[in-house]
């Protein structure tokens, strides 16, 4: 069974940093693109970033480019999102999602940016 478990969310002040992690199991992690998708409270889904299986290709939404960094460690079956210079509008539940089809979602971790 595919499992994606996010961690690392919490309350952070504007301008602060946070690192999200996603532990993957139940599939060949090193063979799949991985993604971060977020959802602000009461809003729709917004794609944040994607990384190819060997980290060769990386994509970011314009809204986070230059502030967020996606990475992965295939030996640890883990995906990461380093978030710097956080803003109030980054407040959201962040989901770790497999594949460009977005075929398996984690339960999400809440990031709140507030003073």
CB atoms within 10 A of CB 40: 13
Question: Encoding tokens for residue 84?
Answer: 């710097």
Q: How far is the CB of 48 from other proteins (least distance, A)?
A: 9
Cβ pair 55, 72 in contact under 8 A: yes
* Residue 44 or 66 with smaller CB distance to other proteins: 44
Minimal distance, residue 42 CB to other proteins, in Å? 11
CB of 112 to other proteins, least distance (A): 17
Residues that bind other proteins (CB under 8 A): 35, 44-47, 50, 59, 61-62, 95, 100-108
Q: HSE-up of 78 (CA within 13 Å, CB side)?
A: 11
Nearer to other proteins, 28 or 45 (CB): 45
> Cβ closer to other proteins: 34 or 115?
34
Burial 60-71 (b: 16+ CB within 10 A, else e): beeebeeebbbe
């Amino acid at each position: 069974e595919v499992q994606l478990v996010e961690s690392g969310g919490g309350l952070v002040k504007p301008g602060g940093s946070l690192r999200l992690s996603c532990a993957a199991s139940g599939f060949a992690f090193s063979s799949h693109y991985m993604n971060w998708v977020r959802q602000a409270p009461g809003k729709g889904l917004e794609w944040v970033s994607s990384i190819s299986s060997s980290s060769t290709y990386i994509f970011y939404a314009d809204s986070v480019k230059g502030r967020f960094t996606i990475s992965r460690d295939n030996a640890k079956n883990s995906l990461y999102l380093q978030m710097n210079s956080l803003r109030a509008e980054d407040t959201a539940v962040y989901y770790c999602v497999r594949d460009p089809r977005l075929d398996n979602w984690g339960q999400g971790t809440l990031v709140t940016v507030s003073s």
